[in-house]
Amino acid sequence: MFSGRMSRVAPSPTLRVTAEADRLRRQGVDVVDLGAGEPDFPTPDHIKDAARHAIDTNFTKYTPSAGVMELREAICSRYRQDYGVDFRAEETIVTAGAKQALYNAALALFEEGDEVITHAPYWPTIPEQVKLAGATPVIVQTHGEDGFAIQAQPMLDAITPRTRGIVINSPCNPTGALISEEAMTAIADAAAKRGIWIVADVTYEKLLYDATPHNLVRILAERHRDRSVICSATSKAYAMTGWRCGWAIAPAKAITAFNAIQGHSTSNVCSITQKAAVAALTGPQDGVTMMLNEYRTRRDRVWEWLREDQRFTCEKPRGAFYLFPNCVDALEPAGARTSSEFAEALLSEARVAVTAGEGFDAPGFFRISYATSIDRLREGVTRIHEFVHRRERGRASA
Ligand SMILES: Cc1ncc(COP(=O)(O)O)c(C=O)c1O
């Protein structure tokens, strides 16, 4: 009934949790939603004002498919300020979120017979897009014991003559892990030697909690500029997930290819959104810092609270807004065989939505998003603990 490619692609498990939590909520159920992959903050006012102004001045027509020059230049200027790297507007394309930037890259760079290396636990869209492009994802596992650090050597060991690309996501969803600058340098150098593309998904680039240097952009620009694609968005940094604005930064020839795909699929990102994104990138950045500080507080609190039951173990994540605890020791007491069963029972009995590790290629773990208020987080963690204790007692007395 459907094309062959549909047998290769799986629906997004993260969106599934949100949908189920939403269904329960619409029935009036009090769900603590720790599944959300988006900021709970509103978009800052000056960004919304720019959008209103765009409407009022009738900036409501098609724009160039790759985005208005003002926004492409704003992206360059932001990266110059943040990373000390000069890009030209022709090296950028404005996309419908980081997702479309990554998708353009997958379709333009990878095809049947190619292998594309990435690390797990992963954000599921990464391997699915590689498969949609006809290529084969090659998965390198990272490990909970060292906070899921993305190490260079295992990634390099996975290179074969068919390797066409390496996708790095740092800070990583779902683990909050970072790749070190040393590891990024080693991967960039090896990829440069072999002509392998590097796609860096830095969507959470503004959500870094420690002072550790993390200038992946400069490393790629200096060591592997002719085959690197940097993908990001206003989504997480500026609380703009619904606006759908992202970008890819890549060699001008690659941008032309991405634009050919985009020009025949979605065309330009909403003109109003583009004006809002200009305000986000060029306007005051103190809102970003405020949100970062709040996320840091939440991260620290949730991490401590969760450990009140030592069967949940987790290194403190260093970026993004997720905790990715190991729940293997809590499964048996909770009467669950898998983290998927655990998450399902948690939602149906304790009304807490989390995302099971299976969807991220990490059974035995689950993802907590701390992009929600501190009160809801406290309530959520309490419910998780009570859920395990209640089931444990129930099993003991059965
Ligand atoms: C790692 C990662 N990359 C990209 C995206 C896509 O972001 P956007 O909403 O800008 O398309 C997400 C969204 O959750 C993500 O977690």
148 lines ligand 1 (CB under 6 A): no
> What is the structure's pLDDT at 250?
98
Per-residue model confidence as pLDDT tens digits over 204-216: 999 999 988 999 9
> What is the structure's pLDDT at 11?
76
Which of 18, 173, 206, 247 is the best mutation target for the ligand 1 pocket, counting ligand atoms within 8 Å of the beta carbon and taking the most?
173
Residue 123 CA: which ligand 1 atom is closest?
1
φ/ψ of 381, rounded to 5, equals -65, -40
14 lines ligand 1 (CB under 6 A): no
What does the mean pLDDT of the chain come to?
Answer: 96
What percent of the chain is modeled with pLDDT above 70?
Answer: 99
pLDDT at residue 247 greater than cutoff 90: yes
Which of 17, 130, 235, 321 is the best mutation target for the ligand 1 pocket, counting ligand atoms within 8 Å of the beta carbon and taking the most?
235
DSSP 43-106: PPHHHHHHHHHHHHTT--S---TT--HHHHHHHHHHHHHHHS----GGGEEEESHHHHHHHHHH
Per-residue tokens: 19: 């949908």
Cβ atoms of 25 and 35 within 8 Å: the answer is no
Which of 93, 102, 123, 367 is the best mutation target for the ligand 1 pocket, counting ligand atoms within 8 Å of the beta carbon and taking the most?
123
Convert 217-266 into a string of H (helix), E (strand) and C (coil). Answer: HHHHHHHCHHHEEEEEECCCCCCCHHHCCEEEECCHHHHHHHHHHHHCCC
Residue 55 CA to ligand 1 centre (angstroms): 27
Mean pLDDT of 135-160: 96
98 lines ligand 1 (CB under 6 A): yes
pLDDT at residue 261 greater than cutoff 80: yes
| b/e per residue 168-179 (b: at least 16 CB within 10 A) | bbbbbbbbbbbb
> What is the structure's pLDDT at 201?
98
Q: How confident is the model at residue 384 (pLDDT cuts 50, 70, 90)?
A: very high
Residue 245 CA to ligand 1 centre (angstroms): 11
pLDDT at residue 369 greater than cutoff 90: yes
pLDDT at residue 22 greater than cutoff 90: no
Q: Return d(Cα 69, Cα 7) in angstroms, integer.
A: 39
Q: Which residue has the tokens 């990272």?
A: 142
Residue 203 CA to ligand 1 centre (angstroms): 6
- Between 10 and 4, the more confident residue is 4
Per-residue model confidence as pLDDT tens digits over 298-344: 999 999 999 999 999 999 999 999 999 999 999 999 999 999 999 99
Residue 1 CA to ligand 1 centre (angstroms): 30
Q: How confident is the model at residue 21 (pLDDT cuts 50, 70, 90)?
A: confident
Mean pLDDT of 168-172: 98
Residue 173 CA to ligand 1 centre (angstroms): 8
pTM: 0.96
pLDDT at residue 13 greater than cutoff 70: no
Q: How confident is the model at residue 14 (pLDDT cuts 50, 70, 90)?
A: low
> What is the structure's pLDDT at 396?
81
236 lines ligand 1 (CB under 6 A): no
